[in-house]
């Protein structure tokens, strides 16, 4: 996640830097450093922020599960944690999912794939993600 994305999400959530720090369990200085690009945003902070953002948007009861949208075969579904834990609307939050036919090596690779995926795009507000 880029520093400008972090800042845009904080503003969208209508949180001050202090409130964001409390929400994420970090110092105000850390939030300032994330937004200025002085410090990389840790994976656990990015995941938490994206989850909070998706929950702010509310549950879309019409949104299909990822395996339905992606038309995953049953053998792939059985191996995928998103299917196992019935998190098909939050598959981007779960590490180890089988996306684009493979398990990604790390969070960064996974998020690169997720950012172009319709499941991720449908769950988060338009215009906040990306440069």
pLDDT tens profile 29-76: 999 999 999 999 999 999 999 989 888 866 556 778 899 988 999 999
Residue 122's pLDDT band (boundaries 50, 70, 90)?
A: confident
3-state helix, strand, coil in the chain (%, to 5): 55, 5, 40
Same domain, 102 and 73: yes
State the Rg of the chain over Cα.
Answer: 15
pLDDT at 131 over 60: no
Domain limits for position 24 = 3-56
Does any domain span residue 131? no
Query: In the chain, how many domains are there?
Result: 2
pTM for this model (two decimals): 0.78
Same domain, 8 and 35: yes
Specify the pLDDT at position 19. Answer: 97
């Amino acid at each position: 996640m880029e520093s400008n994305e972090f800042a845009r999400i904080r503003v969208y959530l209508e949180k001050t830097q202090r409130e964001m720090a409390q929400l994420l369990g970090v110092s105000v200085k850390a939030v300032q450093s994330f937004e200025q690009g002085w410090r990389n945003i840790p994976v656990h902070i990015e995941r938490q922020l994206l989850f909070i953002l998706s929950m702010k948007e509310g549950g879309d009861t019409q949104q299909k599960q990822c395996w339905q949208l992606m038309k995953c075969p049953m053998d792939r579904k059985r191996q995928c944690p998103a299917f196992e834990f019935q998190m098909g609307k939050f598959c981007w939050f779960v590490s180890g999912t089988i996306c684009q036919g493979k398990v990604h090596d790390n969070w960064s690779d996974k998020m690169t794939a997720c950012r172009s995926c319709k499941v991720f795009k449908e769950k988060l507000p338009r215009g906040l993600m990306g440069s």
